[in-house]
């Protein structure tokens, strides 16, 4: 039940996440918008697991786990970058210039 | 008994070895004159022995078909399979004997003539190389192989004409010969392309088979092919319009003039026409062109020879004129007559050139001894040399009688046959009557200018100078010996193809020998010799003209006092025009050479090369890639945020691609 | 059904508004709190969609652990007062463009009713009974009713997906060690 509505909501949340990634220059907020995108996908998986079986929920489980690990490592990296540049503004992180 | 024909490549390999050895010696030990002489002349003599053996075998076991001796595969490219292969058949054997035979004699002559020249080994190296290429030319079994020889002899001609290259005019003469030849070679190449496209083959035996079936007789293709081939011939064999290089080529050593520009290289064009006779027989338009230009050249060159004062120039124009006769013959369809005249001409022209070499050698020696700077080749400085060079005089007299067409000397038979065939064809095609008339007039002039040459050189009073006279003497035997041999050949050479009315056998020797070669063309073109009373009338007329020309020439030359070259007055009027070769060289220079140079310099160099190719092409593409690179470099901002956006753009694109 | 749908729409609206709040707030702490709001709303939706276990886990792990971690880092870096870190308007165009690019195909998903899904999965042109065409969903429902919420998901997790489960645990270990190593001042 509520399949099409859930999928629509997921699409909207995903789009908002993309918009956030493009619009924000703060590295941590950018990361949060990526988490938003991940959540949108989780919603899709859960909505469809109603019809395709419990594997969908198991996948969500794993997604959350990996998201947790990824958040830990990503934030550690941001910490290290901050120590170097004294800023998490993406404008200042440009050492890859070639 | 194994056939010697399989070993025919030895004739090429031996002189090639000579070239390598002599070349090496030229670079390392230029004083080793004896070795050079032995190797240089020995290899060519060896080649002559092999040629003779091949000829004798073919005489005993007649060749009905050509024997192809393949050496290796040269161009295997899909449908185009060209092998480096030699062809042993009656025609190539004749040419082989002429080239190696006359070649060896001239090598022997050169040992004496070039004895005191510092470039002795280099000379023999080039001369051997020339023999190599000439043999490749006559032995080649397909047009590309022939063309290797064709180009190679052109190269050696350039090297040998400009042998004394320290003098710029000699080097210029060499360049002129090569460049004018190249114009002709373009024609030969186009002909080869057309032939390949039409027949799919370039080997002579296959051309003779396929051409009558595939090509339409008298059609556009075969006419185009033959006309382009003939363009090549006009270049190599010095016919109108590409003959201008030959008189300048006299800048080279005299034996070179004898070998290359009389007996062998310049006859390559005639050989080519006879080799592809089936094509020419199928194209009446080309035949008229060939015969017409041959007759015209014969007449035109003869007129120039009437008033030249350099002994070698007279002979050069004589060669151009006699080559015209050969082309008149092959244009008429009388291929055997053309080859016959080629052979007899090789004999008496080589004799004339070698003899003049003897004379020049003596004059040089005399002027050198008295430190005089007079021209040793000017006829006006000679005279009465009969007393000092009796053998040379006698032998050159034989050659003069031969070229004038006096029986029983060789030239009578060959020249008479050509004119008779021309008359005979004139019964069908009226144009040929004109050609016959031109040929006969040219014969009169030939006799005249040769007699003039002999009179000015050997008869009358000596104009060389009192002191020099004491130094004049006959050449050493190494030089006079070969002269004797060709002298004998000029005397008896007519025996090769005696006409039917001659009392003694053998009759029509060359006709029978070359029959398998000319048979394919003869199917299209039966040519008749006039018989009976017409025949005798023509012969009588020819002899009469020859004799009259000789007598008139001698008498008119000796009638006046001839000044020496230094004291000679300026030419005037028509004689001046003739002396200046009808100003043809000047015309070519003004209307062809200068515009081409201007075109090259202004258009091709400044505009095309500098502005287009360098500017737009090389520099322009570099400029463009720098600009594009600059645009690309703007993408690499280094900002991670921008990279993430790029990431998303890529992901969006993939999403689109997958969701189709 | 009415109540469930009503609840869904309220929660969905809340999720969207919270997401908007997350991406537009200048203050990163505010962004984080709005995101927590979104996560709660989503958890509610999960419970409505018969994924109760996942919903609770969402609150415990996502909102409770991950977002706390985010907030810790924000506090640590003392970022609260940074100003004006939203990109200028040219990027808005790119953003909207990409939104359309991503959202466009995704909006096609709204047409998926259960019947249509069943039709696509079974390949039949006729919308049969979706419940019968998709047996896995029915089995899931039955398992939930028999063994309870946690028991139902334990079955696939520890049977079919055991290996990924173990690998994930190693992944967590690696991530923890890695985070410590990267973030330390001195090793």
pLDDT digits (tens, 9 = 90+) for C116-146: 776 666 666 555 566 666 677 777 777 777 8
pLDDT average, residue stretch B626-653: 83
C-alpha closest to that of B305 among B548, B545, B582, B587: B582
Whether residue B464 contacts residue B368, with contact meaning beta carbons closer than 8 Å, is answered with no
Q: Is the dihedral of CA B463, B464, B469, B475 positive or negative?
A: negative
Whether C153 has a pLDDT exceeding 80, the answer reads: yes
Residue B572: the pLDDT is 75
Whether B195 has a pLDDT exceeding 70, the answer reads: yes
Subunits with 3+ C-beta pairs closer than 8 A to A: B, C
pLDDT average, residue stretch C175-181: 93
Residue C163: the pLDDT is 95
pLDDT digits (tens, 9 = 90+) for B376-392: 788 888 888 888 888 88
Whether residue A74 contacts residue A84, with contact meaning beta carbons closer than 8 Å, is answered with no
Residue C1: the pLDDT is 59
The three state secondary structure string of B296-323 is: HHHHHHHHHHCCCCEHHHHHHHHHHHHH
pLDDT average, residue stretch B439-444: 92
Tell me the chain B residues in contact with residue A20 when contact means C-beta distances shorter than 8 Å.
Answer: none
Cβ-count burial B441-475 (b if 16+ within 10 Å, e if not): bbbbbbbbbbbbbbbbbbbbebbbbeebbebbebb
Q: How many CA atoms lie within 13 A of B624 on its CB side?
A: 7
CA distances from B329 to B137, B232, C23 (A): 21, 18, 103
- Chain A window 20-79: which residues touch C at a Cβ cutoff of 8 Å? 20, 22-26, 28-29, 31-33, 35-36, 39, 42-44, 46-55, 57-58, 60-62, 64-73, 75-79
In terms of CA atoms, which chain A residue is nearest residue B648? A18
CA angle C149, C151, C157 (to 5 degrees): 110
Count CB-CB contacts under 10 A for residue B655: 14
CA angle A92, A35, C172 (to 5 degrees): 100
| Average pLDDT of chain C, as a whole number | 84
CA angle A47, A50, A53 (to 5 degrees): 120
C173/A18: higher pLDDT: C173
Residue C161: the pLDDT is 93
Residue B124: the pLDDT is 92
B638/B165: higher pLDDT: B165
> Using the beta-carbon criterion (under 8 Å), do C143 and A54 form an inter-chain contact?
yes
Under the banding of pLDDT at 50, 70 and 90, the label for residue B192 is very high
Cis peptide before B239 (omega within 30 of 0): no
> Using the beta-carbon criterion (under 8 Å), do B640 and A94 form an inter-chain contact?
yes
Residue B380: the pLDDT is 81
> Using the beta-carbon criterion (under 8 Å), do C98 and B656 form an inter-chain contact?
no
Tell me the chain A residues in contact with residue C175 when contact means C-beta distances shorter than 8 Å.
Answer: 68-70, 72-73
Q: Which residues contact B52 (CB under 8 A, 6 or more apart)?
A: B97
CA distance B370 to B372: 5
DSSP codes of every residue in B514-582: THHHHHHHHTT-------HHHHHHHHHHHHHHHHHHHHHHHHHHHHSPPPPTTTPPPP-HHHHHHHTGG
- Does residue C112 sit in helix, strand or coil? coil
In terms of CA atoms, which chain B residue is nearest residue A25? B641
Tell me the chain A residues in contact with residue C106 when contact means C-beta distances shorter than 8 Å.
Answer: 10-11, 14-15
pLDDT average, residue stretch B292-300: 92
Instruction: List the single range of A34-38, A94-98, B365-369, B607-611 with lowest mean pLDDT.
Output: A94-98
pTM, 2 dp: 0.71
CA distance B426 to B432: 4
Residue B297: the pLDDT is 92
CA distance A22 to A19: 5
Under the banding of pLDDT at 50, 70 and 90, the label for residue B282 is confident
Across the interface, of C91, C94, C102, the residue whose CB is closest to B655 is C102
B68/B193: higher pLDDT: B193
Residue C72: the pLDDT is 92
pLDDT average, residue stretch C13-32: 92
Residue B424: the pLDDT is 84
Residues facing A26 on adjacent strands: A89
Whether A75 has a pLDDT exceeding 60, the answer reads: yes
Whether B403 has a pLDDT exceeding 80, the answer reads: yes
Whether B369 has a pLDDT exceeding 90, the answer reads: no
pLDDT digits (tens, 9 = 90+) for B136-161: 999 999 999 999 999 999 999 999 99
Whether residue B261 contacts residue B246, with contact meaning beta carbons closer than 8 Å, is answered with yes
Residue carrying structure tokens 């009808």: B582
Residues facing B84 on adjacent strands: B72
C-alpha closest to that of B335 among B289, B399, B291, B285: B291
- Here the tokens at position B570 are 């300026």
Q: Quick check: B659 contacting C, CB < 8 Å?
A: yes
CA distance B184 to B500: 39
pLDDT average, residue stretch B64-84: 83
Instruction: List the single range of A51-55, B52-56, B506-510 with lowest mean pLDDT.
Output: B506-510
B207/C177: higher pLDDT: C177
- Here the tokens at position B478 are 């190494």
Q: In terms of C-beta density within 10 A (0-12 exposed, 13-18 middle, 19 or more buried), how is residue B629 classed?
A: exposed
CA distances from B9 to B132, B136, B151 (A): 10, 9, 19
Residue C187: the pLDDT is 60
Alpha helices in chain C (DSSP H): 2-24, 28-48, 52-57, 67-77, 89-107, 114-122, 130-133, 135-158, 162-183
CA distance B162 to B149: 20
| Average pLDDT of chain B, as a whole number | 85
Residue C82: the pLDDT is 59
CA distances from B307 to B319, B557, C186 (A): 15, 11, 110
Phi and psi, residue B83, nearest 5°: -100, 150
Residue A22: the pLDDT is 86
CA distance B433 to B425: 8
> Using the beta-carbon criterion (under 8 Å), do A93 and B643 form an inter-chain contact?
no
Query: For a pLDDT cut of 70, what percent of chain B falls above it?
Result: 98
C-alpha closest to that of B42 among B116, B128, B119, B120: B128
Q: Quick check: C6 contacting A, CB < 8 Å?
A: no
pLDDT digits (tens, 9 = 90+) for B560-615: 777 777 777 777 778 788 788 888 888 888 888 888 888 888 877 777 777 777 77
Residue C121: the pLDDT is 66
Subunits with 3+ C-beta pairs closer than 8 A to C: A, B
| Average pLDDT of chain A, as a whole number | 88
CA distance B398 to B484: 10
Instruction: List the single range of A23-37, B300-314, B434-448, B527-541 with lowest mean pLDDT.
Output: B527-541
pLDDT average, residue stretch B499-519: 77
Whether B35 has a pLDDT exceeding 80, the answer reads: yes
Residue B376: the pLDDT is 79
Whether B628 has a pLDDT exceeding 70, the answer reads: yes
- Chain C window 82-121: which residues touch B at a Cβ cutoff of 8 Å? 87, 91, 94, 98, 101-102, 105
In terms of CA atoms, which chain B residue is nearest residue A26? B641
Residues facing A89 on adjacent strands: A26
Residue C133: the pLDDT is 62
């Amino acid at each position: 039940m509520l399949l099409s509505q859930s999928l629509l909501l997921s699409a909207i949340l995903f789009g908002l996440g993309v918009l956030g990634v493009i619009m924000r220059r703060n590295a941590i907020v950018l990361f949060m918008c990526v988490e938003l995108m991940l959540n949108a996908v989780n919603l899709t998986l859960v909505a469809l697991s109603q019809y395709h079986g419990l594997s969908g929920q198991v996948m969500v489980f794993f997604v959350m786990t990996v998201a947790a690990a990824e958040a830990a490592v990503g934030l550690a990296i941001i910490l290290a970058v901050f120590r170097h540049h004294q800023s998490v503004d993406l404008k200042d992180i440009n050492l890859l210039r070639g | 008994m194994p056939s010697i024909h399989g070993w025919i490549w030895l004739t090429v390999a031996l002189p090639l070895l000579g070239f390598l050895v002599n070349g090496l010696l030229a670079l390392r030990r230029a004083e080793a004159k004896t070795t050079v002489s032995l190797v240089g002349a020995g290899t060519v003599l060896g080649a002559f022995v092999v040629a003779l053996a091949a000829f004798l075998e073919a005489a005993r076991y007649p060749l009905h078909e050509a024997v192809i001796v393949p050496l290796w595969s040269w161009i295997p490219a899909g449908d185009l399979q060209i092998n480096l292969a030699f062809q042993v058949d009656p025609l190539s054997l004749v040419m082989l004997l002429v080239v190696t035979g006359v070649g060896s004699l001239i090598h022997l002559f050169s040992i004496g003539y070039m004895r005191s020249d510092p470039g002795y080994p280099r000379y023999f190296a080039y001369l051997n190389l020339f023999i190599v290429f000439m043999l490749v030319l006559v032995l080649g079994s397909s047009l590309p192989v022939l063309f290797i020889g064709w180009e190679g002899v052109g190269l050696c001609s350039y090297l040998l004409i400009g042998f004394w290259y320290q003098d710029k005019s000699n080097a210029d003469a060499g360049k002129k010969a090569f460049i004018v030849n190249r114009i002709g070679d373009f024609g030969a190449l186009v002909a080869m392309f057309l032939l390949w496209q039409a027949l799919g083959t370039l080997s002579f035996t296959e051309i003779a088979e396929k051409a009558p079936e595939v090509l339409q007789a008298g059609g556009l293709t075969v006419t185009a092919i033959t006309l382009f081939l003939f363009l090549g011939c006009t270049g190599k064999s010095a016919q109108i319009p590409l003959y201008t290089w030959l008189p300048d080529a006299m800048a080279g050593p005299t034996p070179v003039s004898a070998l290359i520009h009389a007996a062998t290289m310049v006859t390559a064009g005639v050989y080519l026409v006879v080799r592809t006779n089936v094509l020419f027989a199928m194209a009446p338009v080309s035949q008229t062109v060939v015969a017409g230009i041959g007759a015209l050249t014969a007449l035109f060159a003869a007129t120039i020879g009437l008033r030249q004062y350099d002994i070698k120039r007279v002979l050069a124009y004589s060669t151009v004129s006699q080559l015209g006769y050969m082309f008149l013959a092959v244009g008429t369809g009388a291929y055997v007559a053309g080859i016959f005249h080629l052979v007899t001409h090789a004999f008496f022209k080589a004799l004339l050139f070698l003899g003049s070499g003897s004379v020049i050698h003596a004059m040089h020696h005399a002027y050198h001894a008295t430190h005089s700077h007079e021209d040793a080749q000017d006829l006006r400085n000679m005279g009465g040399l009969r007393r000092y060079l009796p053998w040379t005089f006698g032998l050159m007299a034989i050659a003069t009688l031969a070229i004038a067409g006096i029986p029983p000397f060789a030239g009578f038979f060959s020249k008479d046959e050509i004119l008779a065939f021309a008359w005979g064809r004139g019964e069908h095609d009226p144009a040929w009557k004109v050609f016959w008339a031109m040929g006969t007039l040219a014969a009169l002039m030939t006799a005249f200018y040769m007699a003039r040459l002999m009179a000015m050189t050997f008869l009358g009073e000596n104009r060389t100078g009192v002191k020099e006279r004491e130094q004049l003497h006959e050449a050493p035997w190494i030089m006079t010996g070969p002269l004797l041999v060709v002298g004998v050949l000029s005397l008896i050479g007519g025996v090769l193809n005696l006409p039917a009315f001659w009392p003694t056998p053998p009759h029509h020797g060359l006709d029978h020998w070359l029959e398998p070669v000319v048979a394919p063309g003869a199917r299209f073109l039966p040519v008749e010799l006039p018989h009976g009373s017409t025949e005798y009338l023509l012969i009588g007329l020819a002899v009469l003209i020859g004799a009259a020309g000789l007598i008139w020439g001698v008498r008119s030359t000796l009638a006046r006092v001839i000044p020496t070259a230094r004291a000679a007055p300026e030419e005037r009027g028509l004689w001046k025009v003739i002396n200046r070769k009808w100003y043809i060289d000047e015309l070519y220079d003004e209307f062809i050479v200068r515009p081409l140079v201007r075109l090259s310099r202004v258009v091709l160099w400044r505009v095309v090369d500098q502005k287009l190719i360098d500017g737009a092409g090389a520099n322009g593409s570099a400029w463009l890639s720098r600009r594009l690179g600059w645009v690309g470099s703007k993408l690499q901002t280094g900002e991670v945020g921008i990279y993430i956006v790029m990431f998303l753009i890529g992901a969006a694109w993939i999403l689109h691609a997958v969701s189709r | 059904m009415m109540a469930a749908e009503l609840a869904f729409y309220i929660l969905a609206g809340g999720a969207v508004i919270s997401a908007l709040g997350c991406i537009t707030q200048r203050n990163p702490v505010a962004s984080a709190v709005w995101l927590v709001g979104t996560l709660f709303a989503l958890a509610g939706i999960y419970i409505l969609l018969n994924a109760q276990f996942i919903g609770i886990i969402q609150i415990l792990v996502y909102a409770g652990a991950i977002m706390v971690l985010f907030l810790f880092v924000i506090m640590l870096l003392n970022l609260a007062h940074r100003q004006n870190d939203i990109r200028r308007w040219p990027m808005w165009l790119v953003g909207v463009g990409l939104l359309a690019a991503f959202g466009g195909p995704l909006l096609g998903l709204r047409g998926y009713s259960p019947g249509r899904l069943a039709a696509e999965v079974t390949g039949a042109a006729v919308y049969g009974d979706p419940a019968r065409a998709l047996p896995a969903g029915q089995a899931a429902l039955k398992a939930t009713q028999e063994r309870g919420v946690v028991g139902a998901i334990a079955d696939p997790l520890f049977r079919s997906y055991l290996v990924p489960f173990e690998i994930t645990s190693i992944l967590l270990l690696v991530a923890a060690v890695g985070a410590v190593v990267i973030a330390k001042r001195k090793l």
